[in-house]
Structures are given as structure tokens and as C-alpha cells.
Structure 1
Amino acid sequence: MDVNLRRLRLFVALAEELHFTRAAAKLFVAQQSLSRQIAELEGELGTPLLRRTSRRVELTPAGEVFLAAAHEVLDRFDRGVTEARGVGRGEQVTLRVGFVVGAALELTTHILSEFARRRPEARVELHEFGFADPLAGLAGATTDVAFIRLPSSTHGLVVTPLFTEPCVVGVSAAHPLSRRDRVRVADLLDESIAVGRTDDGVWRDFWTLAGHRGGTRPPRLVETHSQSEEAEVVAAGMACCVTPAAARRYSPHPGVRFITIEDHRGSTVAVAHRSPRPNPLVASFVDAARAVRDREPGILRTIQGAAGAV
């Protein structure tokens, strides 16, 4: 099917007003024309989008879903028009890059530099997100592309893995486990666990070792909002935290000891975006990330072997 943008705009205006007369006046079209366009749109979709009575108009469940999609399509189109006009005037275009703590670790600078070399007309805006948003702005469309950590709830996203990093457990320097170099998951199942506060159940389950617990819960969960807050909770002996091995390099703390976990699978860092047909800037960014990943095996070996570091 080929729904034109004008028809989408008519539907969005009507969905916002929920009144044919007001929507028609707002759009400077005849009410009869508006009714016909909406009926034709429903015919193309094969489902009613609105319930009409003599007293009111309301969205059907299908209409609510389609409204969200229409907003996204129109927002992307309007942003593309603005950026295309800007390029035509010699202006920079902007790529919004989201990331969670650590981004792509030692690959990050190389990826940003490679993208700048490929697309010198583009301006990159970097946006950091905390534990509450493991998808770094992609779900809410506040970013165009993002460095994320897997596993997480990535439904609807296109994901390109960059590397998989071992996991470690952070414990207080006074904790009995702090004298060990390596532990197994079984050693941690009776410990209180610090975990980021988020609604992403897939992400949360991984960092609380839920897959090893047979349906049971940790004795206590301590929810945190940031990595620095998590470090203080661990240093105070309130809980342990399961975290990427890069914490040794990026988040050292005098009161925290990081210990290799032998039998918990690693966390994958990936670059992700929403559309299977991304705009050229997003496609260029993903290509740059792949190129850097493939040409920097030494950096990857350092990252992927970091759990054995002292």
C-alpha cells in the first residue's frame, strides 16, 4: 500500500481534535473531503481507525497504534526535509548518537573519527543515558543511533554487534570474596545485588543473574540510578554488583574490588537504530562502526580479555 503524506496529516489532525468540523477548519479543507480521505485510508488499511457516533469521535485500538506510526513517519520526513534543505544551503546536518555508560569503550573515539572522515558535513550530538534507558534514547526516538549493551529488550531495533565483553562482580574491599581472583555464579546467588533501576526486564534479569536462580530472587535488590551510585553502594558493603569487565578501567574505586565471574556469559556492545532502511547518516555511522571493529583486532583482544586483568 502507498499512503500519501497528506492523508497521514489529515488523520493526525483529526486524531488530535477528535472532531471532524474542527479538524477540517484547522486544515482548511471541506468536512466532506476530510471524511472521504479518512474513509479511503481505513479502506487501504483494512481496519477502522475511528469510532463515529452522533455525539463523538474516538480512536479504535488500531487507530491508536497507527497514530503513533503516523507521528513517527511525519517527524522523520519533516526532519529529513529540513536537513536536506540545510545541506543544500551548505549547512551541517546533525546525527544524534545515544550511549550508555562506556559507549563502545576503546573503540568509541575511533568510530567517531571514522564517521567524521566519511561524513565531514555532519555534526554529531552525543547523549548519555543512565540505567533507566538501556536503549539510549532509541525507544523514544530522541536519538538516531546508539551504542547499547545486550541483552536488553531490542524489539523493533536493527542491531549490529561490535564485541562481547566478560563480566565481573564488584564487591566491597572488606567482603570475604574480595580476596579471590575468580568466582562462580553459585558463589553469588546468596548475595544482595545492586542493579540499575529500569523497566527493561531482559536487561535487569541479566545483571541480577536471574537465569541462574531457577525462579528465585536475590536476598535483596538495591536499585541504583547511575554507575557512580552503584559503586558507592558496593563500597559501603550494601550489595555486590555484576558489571562489565571494563569497570576495572573506566570506574575504579578504592573501596571496590572487581573479580572475574567464570561462568556468566558476557555482555555484548552493539550499535543499534530503529529503521531497517536507515537514513544515509545512520547507515554511514553503522558502516564506520563495522569498519573500525574489523580493523582493530588488537583493541578487541584487550576488551574481550579484560576479565583476566588484575
Structure 2
Amino acid sequence: MEKREIEIFLALSEELHFGRTAARLFVSQARVSQTIAALERRLGVRLFERTSRRVALTPVGRQLAADVRAGHERILAGIATAVAAGRGVDTVVTVGLEAPAVADLAGEALDRVLRRRPGVDLRFVEADFADPLATLLRGEIDVLITNSPVDEPGVVAGPVVVQEPAVLAVPAGHLLADRSTVSLDDLGGQVVLRAGRRPPPYWRDPPRDWRTASGEPVRRGPAFATFQDLFGAVARGEGVCPVAAHAEDYFSRPTIVFVPFEPGSPPVTWCAAWRCGSTSYSDAGAT
């Protein structure tokens, strides 16, 4: 695969939308379509399932994306290290983001790192959405900014870097869409979707008879491997999903409404985490 093919394939595997992929890479939508079609012909296998309403990775495409992304990130890391050496940077710290927008939200904390250690260069990559800790444990990143709590053998749970309110993503036209706020009790009678997540202690399936505090039943929907899959399901009316408030700015679309949870509801907290024995985080000057 050539460099541009890799970039287009990986971007489409994340966006799952030809138009957004084209805009992200500053190419035409036709270029994206032609590149993927040519790649599938050469490999002799379909990488994406396309309909008029959605784009999804095939099982082969999903595996290829995981394999190619790992190699691509190692190449980019090697290039970044070489460039940093030429600029007099003595340490390159790769920061994985469970949600890319967190880099903006945590900007103040990251700026402190750079002020304390001008010889440190921070490089940002997107961690595995369904299992971000695996990216850290495999050594593909030095530091992970992820949802807390973090309770994992071999991983140090570091300080909170940002905290934000939660909102409920609902389809446009949903009975909650016109509300100024919602509460946890409003989940009663709803199908609640979720992002992919590790087994306990991070995610524990609710009891079969799952109810709100007021006694209303709640139905648990499936987990999703990407934000685009998750919000696509919400837009199609398959369920609702509590998400961090920044999602409204970064994933806004006419088919979804983001309704704030009422004051006093649990916030979404993002913390830093790194492998036990790793010096990368302390090298970066963040304490």
C-alpha cells in the first residue's frame, strides 16, 4: 500500500463517511472512492460495506485497519523522533487520546508540560476506542488520557486533566429532544447504547432487571467500536447514549440532539495513565 492509500484507508475506517474523509484529507470525494475501489480490487476483498445510508468496515477491513494503523503509527513515531532530534528535542512523548477532542480540552495541562520541559515534544495519536488501555499496555503510546477511573494491573492512574458535564445524545424528534435538561431517571423506558469498553471494573453489565432509582425499567443496547458507529445508531433511532459534553461541538449533526444532564449529575472525568515503571510521564514534567 502506498502512503496516500494508507492515509485514505485509515481516515475512512475512522470517519466511515466518504464526504468527511475527503474534507479531512483535503481531497475530492471521488478520489477517496477511487482509491478504496482500487485497493479492494488489488487485494481481492471488500474492505467496506456501502449502502445509501451507511459505510461500515467488513471483518477483513477491520483487521486490516488495526494492523496497518499500528505500523503506520510506528513509522510516524520514527519520523517524529528524527525531526525532534533536528530541533534539539531530547524526549518525544506519545500521548494517546481516547477521544481526539480531549487534546483541546486538556490544552492547559499540556501547555504546563511544555513550559516545564521545553526539551519535550508531545506527539498525539488516537487510542483504540473500544479498548484504549490495550494501546497503552502494548507500548504503542507512553501516556493515555482516558475516562477515569482506571484500575488495571501494570498501569498507574495519574491526575485528572479535565472534567466536563455529561449530555444525553438522542435522535432529533425524540420525546426528550426538546427538554432543557434530563436526569438519570429519564433513561427509564429507553434503550441506552454505549461505547465499547473493557470488562469489569470499567464496565459491568447491568442486572437483567435494570431500573432507574424511581423504578422505571431501562433496556441496554449494544456497544459500538467507533464514535461514528455509535452516533449513527443514535441518529437512526436505535437508542440514546450519555456522552461527554464536548461531543456536541465535535460530532454535531442535524439528526442528533444533545441534551444536558441536570446540575448535580455525575460529570465525565478524564485522567492521565501510564505503564508502571515508565518514566515518560515524569520526564514530561507533569505531576
Same fold (TM over 0.5): yes
Q: Percent identity?
A: 23
The 5 Å alignment of 1:58-137 reads 92-102=90-100, 104=102, 106-135=104-133, 137=135
1:130–1:198 distance in 2 versus 1, CA, 3 Å: same
Relative to the length of structure 2, the TM-score reads: 0.58
1:153–1:233 distance in 2 versus 1, CA, 3 Å: farther
Paired letter, 1:175: H
1:163–1:95 distance in 2 versus 1, CA, 3 Å: closer
1:285–1:92 distance in 2 versus 1, CA, 3 Å: closer
Asked whether 1:149 is paired with 2:127, we answer no
Paired letter, 1:147: I
1:165–1:94 distance in 2 versus 1, CA, 3 Å: same
Paired letter, 1:176: L
Asked whether 1:199 is paired with 2:198, we answer yes
Question: d(CA) in 1 for partners of 2:117 and 2:252?
Answer: 35
Contact 1:151 1:267 in 2 (8 A): no
- In structure 2, stretches of 5+ residues that fail to align are 1-80
Q: Which residue of 1 aligns with 2:5?
A: none
Cα deviation digits, residues 164-186 of structure 1 (max 9, x gap): 22211100011111111111111
Q: Which residue of 2 aligns with 1:250?
A: 250
Question: d(CA) in 2 for partners of 1:107 and 1:223?
Answer: 25
Larger Rg: 1
Q: Which residue of 2 aligns with 1:185?
A: 184
Contact 1:95 1:123 in 2 (8 A): yes
Q: Which residue of 2 aligns with 1:240?
A: 240
User: How many Å apart are 1:103 and its aligned residue?
Assistant: 5.2
Q: Which moved more, 1:103-112 or 1:199-208?
A: 199-208
- In structure 1, stretches of 5+ residues that fail to align are 1-82, 291-310
User: How many Å apart are 1:203 and its aligned residue?
Assistant: 3.5
Contact 1:159 1:273 in 2 (8 A): yes
Q: Which residue of 2 aligns with 1:273?
A: 274
Relative to the length of structure 1, the TM-score reads: 0.54
Q: Which residue of 2 aligns with 1:173?
A: 172
Q: 1:204 aligns to what SS in structure 2?
A: coil
Cα deviation digits, residues 280-308 of structure 1 (max 9, x gap): x4214352xx6xxxxxxxxxxxxxxxxxx
Q: Which residue of 2 aligns with 1:285?
A: 284
Which one has the bigger helix percentage? 1
Cα deviation digits, residues 179-200 of structure 1 (max 9, x gap): 1111111111321122112323
The 5 Å alignment of 1:7-46 reads none
